Amino acid sequence: MRLLLTIILAGLPVVLTASDYFGQVTFNGLPVPGATVTATHGDRTASATTNQDGIYHLADLVDGVWRVTVEMLGFEPVTHEIAVPAESDPPATTLTVRSLDQLSRGLESDTKRRNGIFPRTPLTRAASLELDESPSGSSGGPPVDLSVLVGPTGIGAADGLLINGSLNNGAATAFTLPRGIGNNRPRPPSVFTYAAGLQLGNSAWDARPFAATGSRPLKPSYTNTHALGTLEGPIRVPWLRNTITVALGYQGASTTGVNTQFTRVPTDRERLGDFGETLDAHGQPVRIVDPSTGQPFQANAIPAARISRQATALLAYYPHADPALGGRFNYQAPVVTASREDALRSRGTYTTVNQSRVTGGISYQRTTTDTTSLFGFDDTRASSIVDTQWSWMLRLSRNTTAEVRYQYVRAAADAVPYFANRVNVSGDAGITGNDQDPRNWGPPSLTFASDLASLTDGRYSSTVGQEHVWAASLSRFRGAHNLGFGGEIRQRFNDVFEQQDPRGSFAFTSAASGVDFADFLLGLPQTSAIAVGNAAKQFRGRAYAAYATDDWRMKPTLTLSLGVRWEYEAPITEASGRLANLDIAPGFTAVKPVIAGANGVLSGMRYSNALVRADMRGVQPRLGVAWRPSFGSSMVVRAGYGIYRNTNVYQPIASLLAAQPPFTTTFNISTDASRALTLADGFPVSGASFNTFAVDPNFRVASAHNWEASMQRDLHGALTLVVSYLGTRGTNLMQQFLPNTYPAGAANPCPTCPAGFRYLTSNGRSIRHAGQIQVRHRLSGGLASTTQYTLAKAMDDAAAFGGATLDGGALVQNWLDPDAEYARSNFDQRHLVTESIEYTSGSGTSGGTLRDGWKGRLVKDWTFTANFSAGSGLPLTPVYFAPIGGTGIIGSLRPDLTGVRNAPVAGSYADAGAFAPPASGTWGNAARNSITGPSTFTVNASVARTFRPSNRVNFDWRIEATNVLNRVTYASVNTLITSPQFGLATRANDMRKLRSSIRVRF
Q: Which has the closest alpha carbon to 265: 453, 447, 457, 510? A: 453
CA distance 90 to 22: 8
Tell me the one-letter amino acid at 516: D
Q: Which has the closest alpha carbon to 408: 488, 468, 343, 323? A: 468
Instruction: Supply the pLDDT for residue 187.
Output: 55
Helix (H, G, I), strand (E, B) or coil at 349: strand
Host H or E run for residue 323: none
Report the helix count and the strand count for the chain, using DSSP H and E.
Answer: 9, 49
Concatenated DSSP letters for 650-686?
HHHHHHHHTTSTTSSEEEEEE-BTTB---STTSS-TT
CA distance 309 to 861: 69
Helix (H, G, I), strand (E, B) or coil at 356: coil
**Radius of gyration (C-alpha) of the chain in whole angstroms:** 37
Helix (H, G, I), strand (E, B) or coil at 11: coil
CA distance 618 to 291: 58
Number of Cβ atoms within 10 Å of the Cβ of 29: 9
**Cis peptide bond upstream of 502, omega within 30:** no
CA distance 419 to 455: 13
What does the pLDDT look like over 415-430, one tens digit per residue?
Answer: 999 999 999 999 999 9
CA distance 386 to 112: 62
Write phi, then psi, for 949 (nearest 5 degrees): -65, -30
Who contacts 838 (Cβ-Cβ below 8 Å, separation ≥6)? Answer: 783, 784, 785, 863, 864, 865
**DSSP secondary structure letter of residue 919:** P
Strand pairing partners for 251? 228, 343
**DSSP secondary structure letter of residue 820:** G
β pairing state of 862-871 and 936-947: antiparallel
Residues of the chain with pLDDT under 70: 1-19, 29, 86-89, 97-190, 211-218, 326-327, 685-689, 800-809, 843-857, 906
Strand pairing partners for 500? none
Instruction: Supply the pLDDT for residue 117.
Output: 38
- What are the angstrom distances between the C-alpha of 872 and each of 212, 313, 833, 877, 931? 21, 44, 9, 16, 12
Do 250 and 344 touch, CB atoms closer than 8 A? yes
Write phi, then psi, for 231 (nearest 5 degrees): -145, 130
Do 596 and 607 touch, CB atoms closer than 8 A? yes
Do 460 and 431 touch, CB atoms closer than 8 A? no
CA distance 443 to 457: 7
Instruction: Supply the pLDDT for residue 266.
Output: 92
Strands, DSSP E only, in 212-272? 223-235, 244-263
**Cis peptide bond upstream of 85, omega within 30:** yes
End-to-end CA distance of the chain: 47
Instruction: Supply the pLDDT for residue 832.
Output: 96
Who contacts 465 (Cβ-Cβ below 8 Å, separation ≥6)? Answer: 409, 410, 411, 412, 492, 493, 494, 495
CA distance 251 to 198: 10
CA distance 289 to 285: 13
β pairing state of 93-94 and 21-27: parallel
Residues in the chain: 1002
Tell me the one-letter amino acid at 942: S
Tell me the one-letter amino acid at 501: D
Task: Please give the distance of CA 572 from its chain centroid, rounded to a whole number.
Answer: 23
CA distance 881 to 723: 45
CA distance 991 to 256: 13
φ/ψ region of 688 (left if φ > 0, alpha if ψ in -120 to 50, else beta) reads beta
What does the pLDDT look like over 11-33, one tens digit per residue?
Answer: 333 333 445 787 888 887 678 88
Host H or E run for residue 963: none
Tell me the one-letter amino acid at 493: F
Tell me the one-letter amino acid at 322: D
Who contacts 899 (Cβ-Cβ below 8 Å, separation ≥6)? Answer: none
